[in-house]
Amino acid sequence: MLPLEGVRVIEFCEVAAGPFCGMLLADMGADVIKVERLEGDGMRQWPPLSEGYSENFASVNRNKRSVTLDLKNPKDLQMARELVRSADAVIENYRPGVMARNGLDYATLSKDQPDLVYASISAFGQTGPRSQQGGFDLTLQAIAGVMSVTGDAGGAPVKCGVPLCDFVSGLYGAFSVVCGLMKVREKKGGGHFDISMLGATLAVAALQTSQYFGTGVDPVKLGSAHPRNAPYQAFRAADGWFALAAGNNRLWAQVCDIVKLPDLINDPRFTSPAMRAKNQEALRDILETVFQLEPKAVWLERFGNAGVPSGEINTYSEALADPQVDHLGLVQPLELPGGHRTRTVISPLLMSGENIGIRRNPPALGAHTEEVFASLRVAAAQ
């Protein structure tokens, strides 16, 4: 039995942050009903399309049911309110004010449902000088400082290749809903959680913000290097790159032994993690002179045998083919509406040693409208 079985969540969300939040709850057993516009979540049009169905959309919408409603239509709006009355939680990621205009905001709904848990995900939060501004992952990475520490020193601004802001906001949203459900279970009523992408992105940048608070100096781009530790970055071998993270003095001594440069241990530039970080450009040049004498596989084998954390720099096809990914059962088959079979990465959590699998394939647009509202009519008749 999954932890959130018996919990109903209504999702008024599009694209990434909100749908990812909903999927996390659905993975844990919640009945997540996704309310879509008649034309559907815009992400349904994102390529790659397999027999007309977006694999991007599928990746964040499994285990859900889909209903379609036109919230500009009074009848459909009333149906949405009836749907919410059947629910334990609502999640939404529209611009602040949109849900209120439809009478679907927390202040309105909670008058009749004091135990309702409500999570709003937006770019900048529900109030404040930026609250009415829209935002996407790129712009939030820029505004929240991520792009200032991403890429090589002196290089052009670069975003993180994974949509960090969207997905950490979704994680905070799911965490909020579960905390709210715990509060309701303790007979303390529901509540409204306001999750800003700006706040979530700053929160997961704890090491960077604390560096600034502690020194008064902005963190800077270091490529793959670390501001407080070395060797801790990507290095070039004879045939390509690999990553090495010798994060303490014991591991550093192992590196010195493997590269056959024992004198580096007592070199005053490299006697501590802080000193190695301070002088890491010189350290990189010394190590790469040796690393370029052998292929990366040789170095990875040597470091692996010595217990020094290191790794190949994989493409996603290589990462997904890693034997540990197979052992964890992370990649599972997924069937799209229309019968096309693809694959997806499932929840990475194991519960009592078992994968949390796929109960429902991602839905066709409005596939469950009749089913969901028929069940509400039955419940009302009883």
What DSSP line would sit under 113-170, residue for residue?
-TT-EEEEEESS-SSSTTTT----HHHHHHHTTGGGGSSSTTSPP---SS-HHHHHHH
Q: Give the integer Cα–Cα distance in Å for 133 and 121.
A: 13
233: which DSSP letter? E
341: which DSSP letter? E
Give phi and psi for 343, each to the nearest 5.
Answer: -135, 160
Give kind and range of the element (H or E) at residue 73: none
Q: How far is CA 217 from CA 198, 210, 211, in A?
A: 21, 10, 8
59 conformational bin, left if phi > 0, alpha if psi -120 to 50, beta if neither: alpha
Q: Give the integer Cα–Cα distance in Å for 70 and 74.
A: 8
Whether 97 and 127 have beta carbons less than 8 Å apart is answered as no
Q: Residue 310's beta-bridge partner residues?
A: 244
Catalytic residue among 41, 105, 137, 166: 166
Is 166 catalytic? The answer is yes
The angle formed by the CA atoms of residues 356, 358 and 363, to the nearest 5 degrees, is: 145
Token representation of residue 311: 């790794």
Token representation of residue 353: 């040693």
Give phi and psi for 235, each to the nearest 5.
Answer: -125, 150
Q: Which residue numbers are catalytic?
A: 166
